[in-house]
Amino acid sequence: MSQDWERGWLELSVSALDVVSRVETLEAVEAARVEYLGRERGRLTALLRGLKDLPLEQKKVYGPQANALKDAIEKSLESRKRALEAKALEAGLASSRVDLTLPAPPWPRGRRHPVSETMNEMTSILGRLGFSLAEGPQVETDRNNFEGLNVPADHPARDLQDTFYLKDLPLLLRTHTSPVQIRHMEANKPPIRIMAPGRVFRHEAVDASHSAVFHQVEGLYIDKNVSMADLKGTLSVFIRGLFGPKAAIRFRPSFFPFVEPGAEVDVRCLLCAGEGCPACKRSGWMEMLGAGLVHPNVLRFCGIDPEVWSGYAFGVGVERIALLRYGVPDIRMLYENDLRVLEKLAP
């Protein structure tokens, strides 16, 4: 009996690991497992089962050896299995075919309108400069749109802003975002630092560079000892934030009834960098916004003492900048909503 066992053991201990390490298919791995370790007929299983019938001395010698062989076979089978599986996967991947020239299905992603995109960038820069958002209605009173802004009835400055009036109502469509100044100053005490982005309306013929509906971003700062130099500093930062660190501005005297002194602010031509090109009418500069120190009459109108407080205000047109940023040749295209145009604009 013990001799049979020993013969069986000898054969197995010599060959089993060798056989197992050489299996070449996953099926062969399984077959080898059944042959040696199968629960019913596994050859090593049978030997392990026979251990109990061996004399004690032999049991002590062969017991650990047989169990060690079992562990070794299991390990070897596992490692072969993993190796063969990896090989099979690799072969599968190698033979797989993906046509990457097929058109990918589009994930629907929309875009913001170039005007919103531009306006958001402006308000984001101003927001970082400490301006908080303010807003007002688009249908306004003469009082807020003109009178409070130092443009009394029949003032020739009204020609600068041709106006849409409402039928049967003493109201108009605001010609600028400046009435928000009046509303805000009447409702709040200085110091004030606000920005008011929004839609404005001018009664003028629509063409490639003029729209009767457009957008402005208004800025207003009221505090003690505010000067033109503060205005220039803030606008310089704003414009460089918008157009890049190399952008430069210049101030020219100009007239807006609600500021004194008033300035037209030019930006060095963004297309020719000041060399002179058709876009800047060969001047090297582009007219970009109007600004100035808030007129004492405006402060007084809003109940703010101009002897104590001073401030600046500015207003930037959004469309002109959007046209420049995106190279759109005609302002009307911004209001047509042709998807073929819009889908190419804005990030």
Span 207-236, contacts to other proteins by CB under 8 A? 212-213, 223, 225, 227-230, 232-234, 236
Does an H or E element contain 242, and which? helix 228-243
- Of the pair 71, 99, the CB lying nearest other proteins is at 99
Pick from 12, 122, 180, 192: which binds other proteins (CB under 8 A)? 192
b/e for 114-142, b at 16 or more Cβ within 10 A? bbebbbebbbebbeeeebeebebeeebbb
Cα–Cα distance measured from residue 265 to residue 251, given in angstroms and rounded to the nearest whole number: 5
Write down the least CB distance from residue 158 to other proteins, Å.
9
Which positions from 132 through 171 interact with other proteins, judged by CB under 8 A? 132-135, 137-139, 153-157, 159-160, 164-171
221: tokens are 């700062």
Pick from 17, 111, 247, 277: which binds other proteins (CB under 8 A)? 111
Q: Calculate the alpha carbon distances from 116 to 100, 123, 340 in Å.
A: 36, 10, 18
Cα–Cα distance measured from residue 140 to residue 176, given in angstroms and rounded to the nearest whole number: 10
- Of the pair 6, 117, the CB lying nearest other proteins is at 117
Kindly tell me the burial class for residue 308, based on how many C-beta atoms sit within 10 Å of its own C-beta (0-12, 13-18, 19 or more): exposed
Write down the least CB distance from residue 128 to other proteins, Å.
10
- Of the pair 6, 230, the CB lying nearest other proteins is at 230
Write down the least CB distance from residue 330 to other proteins, Å.
14
Which positions from 288 through 327 interact with other proteins, judged by CB under 8 A? 293, 295-296, 310
Report the relative pairing of strands 192-201 and 213-223 from DSSP bridges. Answer: antiparallel
Write down the least CB distance from residue 170 to other proteins, Å.
7
Which positions from 64 through 93 interact with other proteins, judged by CB under 8 A? none
Kindly tell me the burial class for residue 147, based on how many C-beta atoms sit within 10 Å of its own C-beta (0-12, 13-18, 19 or more): middle
With CB under 8 A as the contact rule, which of the stretches 28-36, 53-61, 68-76, 337-345 interacts with other proteins?
337-345
- Of the pair 94, 102, the CB lying nearest other proteins is at 102
120 touching other proteins, by CB under 8 A: yes
Which positions from 226 through 285 interact with other proteins, judged by CB under 8 A? 227-230, 232-234, 236-237, 250-255, 257, 260-264
Which positions from 3 through 62 interact with other proteins, judged by CB under 8 A? none
Q: What is the CA radius of gyration of the chain?
A: 42
Report the relative pairing of strands 249-253 and 259-268 from DSSP bridges. Answer: antiparallel
Write down the least CB distance from residue 273 to other proteins, Å.
19
Q: What is the DSSP letter of 332?
A: G
271: tokens are 């297309």
Contact criterion met (CB below 8 Å) for 213 and 178: no
Residue 98, amino acid: V
CA 27 to chain centre: 54
Cα–Cα distance measured from residue 309 to residue 299, given in angstroms and rounded to the nearest whole number: 8
With CB under 8 A as the contact rule, which of the stretches 17-25, 30-38, 201-209, 267-275 interacts with other proteins?
201-209
Write down the least CB distance from residue 261 to other proteins, Å.
3
Write down the least CB distance from residue 197 to other proteins, Å.
8
- Of the pair 21, 116, the CB lying nearest other proteins is at 116
Residue 143: name the closest of 176, 184, 124, 171 by CA: 171
Pick from 44, 73, 115, 328: which binds other proteins (CB under 8 A)? 115
Number of residues this chain uses to bind other proteins (CB under 8 A) = 86
- Of the pair 47, 192, the CB lying nearest other proteins is at 192
CA 137 to chain centre: 29
In order, the DSSP letters of 61-83 are HHHHHHHHHHHHHHHHHHHHHHH
Pick from 43, 59, 81, 112: which binds other proteins (CB under 8 A)? 112
- Of the pair 42, 198, the CB lying nearest other proteins is at 198
